[in-house]
Amino acid sequence: MKILMVNTGVFPVPSQGGAENHVYYISRSLSEQGIKVDLVSDIGDDAKFGNINIYPVNLPELSLFDKGFKGYMLRHASGGVYAFKKARELLKSDHYDIIHVHGRVAPFLLSFFKRDTPLVFTLHDNPPSREQSSYYIYKISYKLFQETAVKRANHVITVHTRLRKELVSRKVSSGKISVIPNGVDTNLFSSQKENLRENAVLFVGWLTKRKGVNYLLEAISDTNVKLIIIGDGPERFHLMQLANCLGIKAQVTFTGIVDVNKLIEYYSSASIFVLASLREAFPLSLLEAMSCNLPVISTNTSGMPEIIKGGYNGFLVEPRNVKQLRERIQYLIENHELCKEMGENARKTVEEKYSWDVIARETIKIYEKVLEEKQ
């Protein structure tokens, strides 16, 4: 079986983007299980692909991409167009059994130019929420690109069950939707508990308003907790200002983007991993942290209850509830043995349900189903 895997076009892999890292790891696992994969994606220096053929998107680096929200949207739109153009070139010159595409713009465009090749679309994002900034821009983008791609695809994969239910409520046939969660490389992301940072809370992600990092900063004020923020994005400068205003500048470290080896060091040395997102699909960073024996605290959104079992491998809190978030952080910091036990349970959870080998096998079943339906 030969697959054309099309990345979002936004960031090289591996990267800070959850969808991009998903593509990176699922492509490798599919290849290891005997699937021939041609991958449309820019790649970073840390990428290791083995037998996969790489076709770079070659998205240029423009200063406009760094101009806040407008730059963020421009990068996504441009990346999708570049990824589509490269994929279309390959479709004209080669035969593929399946096109598997991710993102917003590329799935939309390829759904019109796929010819007779079945298209599988992995939907990573929840529908936009009225509570998020620039709601109407996101809503237009979602309805134009992602909803159209969902309707035109041969099969849709969602990363959690709530998203599947949302699509069914929008009159998408339940028979063309499967739920396959994100995964984690349990061999790569494993604990190296050597240089522990006492009372250290870790956040990893793209710094946008929906990640709720401002609430996390408020939650650690009036505590002796240290917060390490890994990642970059349009909200970074505002968050640094907020830390200063809250009087916790000395407690907070902004590392920017780090390579995967450094990332694993941070996972291994922290006490707790926290996501305070206003909305979230199925973040890879959460699984990576759990794979490194970290207990997790996350807001109760979207796919989080499918991963986190309160009191077993972490805790769920309500979005924007700073008091609840602070109490859970303090509780784990003060109970070292419980923190350790929940971290061990977090590792068990990902080993049993979320290794990329398991995710790849489930994805292959979808490919086989789509090809059977084509006959």
What Cα–Cα distance (Å) separates residue 77 from each residue in 107, 109, 128? 12, 11, 17
* Cβ partners under 8 Å of residue 327, min gap 6: none
Q: Decide if 10 contacts 75 (C-beta within 8 A).
A: yes
Among 24, 80, 85, which residue's Cα sits nearest to residue 52? 24
| Structural tokens at position 281 | 């699909």
pLDDT above 70: residue 136: no
Structure confidence at residue 260 (pLDDT): 86
pLDDT above 70: residue 129: no
Residue 194's pLDDT band, with cuts at 50, 70 and 90, is low
Q: Decide if 246 contacts 218 (C-beta within 8 A).
A: yes
**CA-CA distance, 204 to 175, in Å (whole number)?**
35
What Cα–Cα distance (Å) separates residue 26 from each residue in 3, 14, 82, 206? 12, 12, 21, 21
Q: Decide if 351 contacts 339 (C-beta within 8 A).
A: no
pLDDT above 60: residue 350: yes
What Cα–Cα distance (Å) separates residue 224 from each residue in 131, 271, 316, 322? 31, 13, 22, 16
Mean pLDDT, the chain, integer: 90
Question: Of the ranges 36-50, 161-175, 306-320, which is most confident?
Answer: 306-320
What Cα–Cα distance (Å) separates residue 105 from each residue in 8, 117, 151, 207, 261? 8, 18, 14, 22, 31
**CA-CA distance, 374 to 332, in Å (whole number)?**
52
Structure confidence at residue 212 (pLDDT): 94
| 2-183+355-374 and 200-353 in the same fold | yes
Of the chain, the percentage scoring pLDDT greater than 70 comes to: 94
Type of residue found at 350: V
Q: Decide if 297 contacts 325 (C-beta within 8 A).
A: yes
DSSP-derived secondary structure letter, 262: H
* Residue 1 CB-density burial (10 A; 0-12 exposed, 13-18 middle, 19+ buried): middle
| DSSP notation for 66-114 | GSHHHHHHHHHHHHHHHHHHHHHHHHHHS--SEEEEESSHHHHHHHHH-
Structure confidence at residue 330 (pLDDT): 95
Kindly indicate whether the domain formed by 200-353 is annotated with CATH number 3.40.50.2000.
yes
The angle formed by the CA atoms of residues 362, 368 and 370, to the nearest 5 degrees, is: 105
Residue 131's pLDDT band, with cuts at 50, 70 and 90, is low
The residue length of the chain stands at 375
Q: What is the pTM of this model?
A: 0.79
- Between β-strands 119-123 and 155-158, what pairing exists: parallel, antiparallel or unpaired? parallel
Q: Decide if 100 contacts 157 (C-beta within 8 A).
A: no
Mean pLDDT of 49-59: 89
Structure confidence at residue 2 (pLDDT): 97
| DSSP notation for 163-218 | HHHHHHHTT--GGGEEE----B-TTTS----SS--TTEEEEES---GGG-HHHHHH
Q: Decide if 206 contacts 231 (C-beta within 8 A).
A: yes
* Cβ partners under 8 Å of residue 295, min gap 6: 272, 273, 313, 314, 315, 332, 339, 342, 343, 345, 346
Boundaries of every domain in the chain: 2-183+355-374, 200-353
pLDDT tens-digit profile of 69-127? Answer: 677 778 888 989 999 999 999 999 999 999 999 999 999 999 999 889 999 999 987 76
Record: fold of 2-183+355-374: Rossmann fold (3.40.50)
Mean pLDDT of 338-346: 95
